[in-house]
Amino acid sequence: MVDATEPPAVDVVPATPITLRRDATPGWEPDLPASLLLRRLLADRTAVIGLVILTVLVAAAVLAPWVAPHDPAAQDVLNKHAGPSGSHLLGTDQLGRDELSRLLWGARASLLTSMLLGTAVLVIGSAVGTLAGFVGGLVDAIAMRIVDVMLAFPNFLLVLVVVGSLGPGLFNLSVAFLLAGWVGYARVVRGLVLSARERPHVETARALGFRPARVVLRHVLPTVLGPVTVLWTVRSGQLLLALAALSFLGLGAQPPTAEWGSMLNSARDSLAVNPALMIYPGLLITVAALGFNLLGDGLRDILDPASR
Partner 1 sequence: MTAPLLVVEDLVKVYPVARGLFGRIGSAVRAVDGVSFSIAAGETLGLVGESGCGKSTLARCILRLIEPSGGHVSFAGADVAGHRGEALRRYHQRAGMVFQDPFGSLNPRQMIGDMVGEPLRAHHLVGGRRSERARVGELLDLVGLDPGRARSYPRQLSGGQRQRVAIARAIASEPELLILDEPVASLDVSVGAQILNLLADLQTELGVAYLFISHNLSVVRHVAHRTAVMYLGSFLESGPTPQLFDRPQHPYTQALLSAVSVPDPDRERERPRIRLTGEVSTSLDVPTGCRFHTRCFRAETVCSECEPMLDRVGPNEHRAACLFPGDRVALRQTHAAH
DSSP label at residue 78 = G
Q: Give the span between the Cα atoms of 51 and 294, in whole angstroms.
A: 8
- Of 7 and 209, nearer to partner 1 (C-beta) is 209
Q: Which is nearer to partner 1, 32 or 41 (CB)?
A: 32
Of 28, 269, 14, 80, the C-alpha closest to 88 is: 80
Q: Considering just the CA atoms, what is the radius of gyration of the chain in Å?
A: 26
Q: How many residues of this chain bind partner 1 (CB under 8 A)?
A: 20
**Binding range to partner 1, per CB under 8 A, among 199-207, 227-235, 260-268, 274-282:** 199-207
State how far the Cα of 194 lies from the Cα of 220, in Å rounded to an integer. 9
Instruction: Figure out which of the listed residues 55, 195, 204, 307 binds partner 1, where binding follows CB under 8 A.
Output: 204
Nearer to partner 1, 59 or 142 (CB): 142
Q: Which of 71, 148, 203, 269 binds partner 1 (CB under 8 A)?
A: 203
Are the C-beta atoms of 290 and 238 separated by less than 8 Å?
A: no
C-alpha distances out from residue 191 to 57, 130, 185, 188, 286, Å: 33, 9, 10, 5, 32
Dihedral sign for Cα 66, 175, 266, 57, please. positive
Which residues from 130-169 bind partner 1, rule CB under 8 A?
none
- Sole binder of partner 1 in the list 94, 158, 178, 210 (CB under 8 A): 210
Query: Are 265 and 247 within 8 A, CB to CB?
Result: yes
Among 22, 39, 206, 268, binds partner 1 (CB under 8 A): 206
7, 8, 17, 209: residue in contact with partner 1 (rule CB under 8 A): 209
Contact call for residue 88 and partner 1 (CB under 8 A) = no
Write out the residues near partner 1 by the rule CB under 8 A.
Answer: 31-34, 199-201, 203-211, 214, 218-219, 222
